[in-house]
Structure 1
Amino acid sequence: MNKPTAESIRRRGRVFPEIQWTEEQKAQHRARQQAFYERCWAIYEQLKPKLLDKYYGWYIAIEPDSGDYFIDPDQEVASRKAREKYPNVIHHIFGINETGVSGRI
């Protein structure tokens, strides 16, 4: 006859409880994200009139520091192209349409 084994205790909580952001750090992070988005959005708005007719429904990955952009019908491929040229830089993906939104609700 088998003896019942003791169940392990499930520990719930943060993975790294020692890492806690203050409200100031959270606000700074949000501000950096918003500034990055606005830089990318400005580039997208400049390119949109040229791209809308030919590439409607495609995706564009924008690297705001250089102003380079990568277009592809597949979101993952556009992102991969950006990562290949700029491996350690964050880029932003937009859908080439009237709103710039990629994805569906």
Structure 2
Amino acid sequence: MLEIQSHQKVHRGRLFPEIQWTEDQKHLYRDNLENHHQRCRVIFERLQPELIKNHYNWFMAVDSETGDYFIDQNEEVVTQMCLQKHPNAIPFIFVINETGVAGKI
């Protein structure tokens, strides 16, 4: 029996080619993200020494706009807690330990 082989190449491309960001839009997005992270980091670093005693390796969600924070052992739960109180917020998640991140690089 003869097998038929297809020699057509699959053309891969953008999922939404109509959405094209300019370099200025990309830089603005990165700057906003970095500013958001820095505001959240200040709140985390202020609270970290106090929380690390009783909540080591728990998760902490910080809303930079209000300064509110939420802690729980489960990352998904802490995210949902933040989004229930502030539905339009973009919480930044930290791990309550010496570095604020999980794992090693």
Q: How many residues align?
A: 101
TM-score under structure 2 length normalisation: 0.86
Distance 1:30 1:64, change over 3 A: same
Alignment partner of 1:56 is 2:38: no
| Matches for 1:1-105 after TM superposition, within 5 Å | 10-103=10-103
Matched-pair identity in % = 46
Alignment root-mean-square deviation, CA: 1.8
Asked if structure 2 preserves the Cα contact closer than 8 Å seen for 1:56 and 1:96, the reply is: yes
Shift of 1:10: 4.6
Q: Structure 1: which 4+ aligned runs deviate by more than 3 Å? A: 8-11
Q: 2:80 & 2:96 partners in 1: Cα distance? A: 17
Asked if structure 2 preserves the Cα contact closer than 8 Å seen for 1:62 and 1:70, the reply is: yes
Shift of 1:43: 0.3
Shift of 1:22: 1.0
TM-score under structure 1 length normalisation: 0.86
Unaligned residue ranges in structure 2 (runs of 5+): none
